[in-house]
Amino acid sequence: GAVVSQHPSRVICKSGTSVKIECRSLDFQATTMFWYRQFPKQSLMLMATSNEGSKATYEQGVEKDKFLINHASLTLSTLTVTSAHPEDSSFYICSARDGLAGDTGELFFGEGSRLTVL
């Protein structure tokens, strides 16, 4: 199946700093990527839908100025958590759909990035 690579897998930063997380589709072109956040023992919460070459669509309650999403190419989307605070500590996961593979609807997930803000 298609492979999505996410980096870094773990990051620890100080409060007030910014952190960038990369999501790459390795063997397919992803016109759309999705960013999720998952707190312990909770389900995936969609943060935003990232479309190549256009602005991301954010879910209600997600601050677009705090969570900057860039989808500059068909294989790369980035999420930048700006001025991170301890409450931003979470597991961030990206996913992508191979639009050329036919609509099985299957999402391919990155490995996830665990952010800890001290």
Binding-site member from 30, 90, 110, 117 for other proteins (CB under 8 A): 110
Interaction between residue 105 and other proteins (CB under 8 A)? yes
Which amino acid is residue 80, in one-letter code? T
User: Are the C-beta atoms of 69 and 33 separated by less than 8 Å?
Assistant: no
52 binds other proteins (CB under 8 A): no
Identify which range of 14-22, 60-68, 70-78, 105-113 contacts other proteins by CB under 8 A.
105-113
Work out whether 93 is an interface residue with other proteins (CB under 8 A). Answer: yes
Q: What angle do CA 65, 11, 75 make, to 5 degrees?
A: 65
Residues at the site binding other proteins, with contacts judged by CB under 8 A: 1, 6, 34, 42-46, 91, 93, 95, 104-112, 114
